[in-house]
């Protein structure tokens, strides 16, 4: 084992107070890195007069709940309190090696707590003597081309105009309730378990249960803090009893269903824990959609609009 300060130069960050800084939006300003565990430690974008740390340097939280949360910063940045900046002693160190060392530091979080911070001892932290060979062979994914659309952008017509009309969800979808499955009954498996979550497309984990709903439908949380979050499911799945499943009455593409999901989510603020979006209420819920001259939903227009949005190319072809 070797000491961390044998690999990196360590220096204290800027110790800036966020509430004393002017917040801005990119591309103005620089990232403000705090002791947060998420979002690469970045909690704001700020305008500062001090010289920022360089892109490619590492930030390490020295205390708080996120102690030893370590990130490679891809852009110049400034720091809040109790953040250390690490610069590789070897200037040719690549991004994959930096990420590996960041993980090594992160794995030592258990040694510290709110009452035992890493301010004075980070440099003496023991880490492996050598980097495994597979680290240098790893190819990192990039964001190149991720923001592309899969079709030409299409203007959104006026939702209050004659080209839109009201529909109840019950007119468009067969709406069914999920089934109760307790935590004690769940064991790891290969079937998606969709529950009252607003993250990861509503998928909590994978379970050894039969799928009870097909792919190509929407799931909507009707209960809890995540009420109204709607997702398109592209694989068969099991839905919990906190979820209502919307099965289109006619063939509707993934893109058009994503359009509907966005509208459903927009209306989620009408419901709370005390006023749940129950099956009966959901069937009667009115949404407004683009229509053809015949008055039927214009699914083709909805698909074309969604295909023209940034990042739509990352979704792939509709199913």
pLDDT for 118: 86
58 and 120 co-located in one domain: yes
pLDDT for 317: 53
Q: How many residues does the chain have?
A: 319
Q: What are the distances in angstroms from CA 238 to CA 184, 195, 206, 243, 302?
A: 16, 9, 9, 10, 28
Residue 144 pLDDT greater than 80, yes or no? no
214 and 302 co-located in one domain: yes
The position carrying tokens 């300003």 is 29
117 and 214 co-located in one domain: no
Q: How far apart are CA 91 and CA 6, in angstroms?
A: 13
Provide mean pLDDT across the span 198-204. Answer: 94
Residue 144 falls inside a structural domain: no
Residue 228 falls inside a structural domain: yes
pLDDT for 319: 44
Residue 159 falls inside a structural domain: no
pLDDT for 37: 92
For 150, the token pair is 């899969």
| Closest to 65 in 3D by CA, of 34, 102, 36 | 36
130 and 170 co-located in one domain: no
193 and 100 co-located in one domain: no
Backbone φ/ψ region at 295: left (φ over 0), alpha (ψ -120 to 50), beta: left
The position carrying tokens 């490679």 is 72
| Closest to 78 in 3D by CA, of 33, 133, 44 | 33
129 and 171 co-located in one domain: no
Which tens digits make up the pLDDT trace of 163-175?
Answer: 999 999 999 999 9
- Percent of the chain at pLDDT > 90 equals 81
Query: pLDDT averaged over the chain?
Result: 93
100 and 200 co-located in one domain: no
- Structural domain count of the chain: 2
Residue 42 pLDDT greater than 90, yes or no? yes
User: Which domain covers residue 228, as residue numbers?
Assistant: 164-314
Residue 277 falls inside a structural domain: yes
Output the 3-class SS for the chain: CEEHHHCEEEEECCCCCHHHCEECCCCCCEEEECCCCCHHHEEEEEECCCCCECCCCEEEECCCCCCCCEEECCCCEEECCCEEEEEECCCCCCHHHHHHHHHHHHCCHHHCECCECCCCCHHHCEECCCCCHHHHHCCCCCCCCCCCCCCCCCCCCCCCCCCEEEEEHHHHEEEEECCCCCHHHCCEEEEEEECCCCCHHHEEEEECCCCCECCCEEEEECCCCCCCCEEEECCCEEECCCEEEEEECCCCCHHHHHHHHHHHHHCHHHCCCCCCCCHHHHHHCEEEEEECCCCCECHHHHHHHHHCCCCHHHCCCCC
Q: How far apart are CA 55 and CA 71, in angstroms?
A: 11
170 and 305 co-located in one domain: yes
Residue 71 falls inside a structural domain: yes
Residue 13 falls inside a structural domain: yes
Residue 156 falls inside a structural domain: no
Which tens digits make up the pLDDT trace of 261-310?
Answer: 999 999 888 888 788 899 999 999 999 999 999 999 999 999 999 999 99
Residue 206 falls inside a structural domain: yes
Residue 43 pLDDT greater than 50, yes or no? yes
Is the model more confident about 197 or about 146? Answer: 197
Residue 92 CB coordination number (10 Å): 6
Residue 147 pLDDT greater than 60, yes or no? yes
304 and 239 co-located in one domain: yes
Q: How far apart are CA 243 and CA 180, in angstroms?
A: 10
Which tens digits make up the pLDDT trace of 49-67?
Answer: 999 999 999 999 998 888 9
Q: Of 121, 137, 153, at which residue does a domain stop?
A: 137
The position carrying tokens 């240098």 is 136
| Closest to 116 in 3D by CA, of 82, 154, 161, 164 | 82
Least confident of 77-86, 175-184, 310-319: 310-319
pLDDT for 318: 41
181 and 286 co-located in one domain: yes
97 and 185 co-located in one domain: no
133 and 233 co-located in one domain: no
238: CATH: 3.90.220.20
Which tens digits make up the pLDDT trace of 227-256?
Answer: 999 999 999 999 999 999 999 999 999 999
């Amino acid at each position: 084992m070797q000491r961390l300060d044998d690999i990196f130069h360590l220096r204290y960050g800027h110790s800036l107070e966020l509430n004393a800084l002017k917040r801005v939006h990119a591309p103005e300003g620089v990232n403000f890195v705090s002791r947060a565990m998420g979002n690469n430690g970045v909690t704001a974008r700020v305008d500062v007069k001090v010289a920022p740390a360089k892109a490619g340097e590492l930030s390490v939280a020295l205390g708080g709940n996120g102690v030893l949360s370590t990130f490679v910063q891809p852009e110049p940045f400034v720091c809040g309190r109790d953040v250390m900046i690490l610069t590789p002693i070897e200037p040719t160190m690549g991004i994959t090696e930096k990420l590996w060392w960041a993980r090594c530091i992160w794995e030592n979080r258990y040694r510290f707590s709110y009452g035992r911070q890493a301010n004075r001892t980070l440099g003496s932290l023991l880490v492996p003597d050598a980097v495994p060979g597979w680290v240098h062979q790893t190819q990192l994914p990039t964001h190149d081309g991720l923001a592309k659309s899969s079709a030409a952008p299409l203007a959104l017509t006026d939702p209050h105009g004659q080209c839109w009309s009201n529909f109840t969800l019950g007119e468009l979808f067969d709406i069914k309730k999920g089934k109760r499955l307790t935590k004690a009954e769940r064991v790891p498996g290969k079937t998606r378990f969709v529950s009252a979550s607003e993250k990861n497309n509503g998928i909590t984990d994978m379970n050894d249960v039969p799928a009870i709903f097909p792919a190509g439908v929407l799931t909507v949380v009707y209960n809890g803090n995540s009420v109204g979050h709607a997702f398109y499911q592209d694989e068969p799945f099991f839905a919990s009893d906190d979820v209502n499943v919307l099965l289109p009455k006619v063939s509707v593409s993934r893109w058009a269903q994503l359009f509907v999901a966005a509208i459903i989510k927009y209306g989620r603020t009408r419901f709370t824990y005390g006023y749940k979006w129950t099956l009966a209420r959901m069937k009667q819920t009115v949404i407004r959609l683009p229509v053809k001259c015949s008055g039927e939903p214009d699914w083709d227009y909805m698909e074309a609009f969604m295909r023209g949005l940034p990042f739509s190319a990352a979704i792939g072809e509709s199913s």
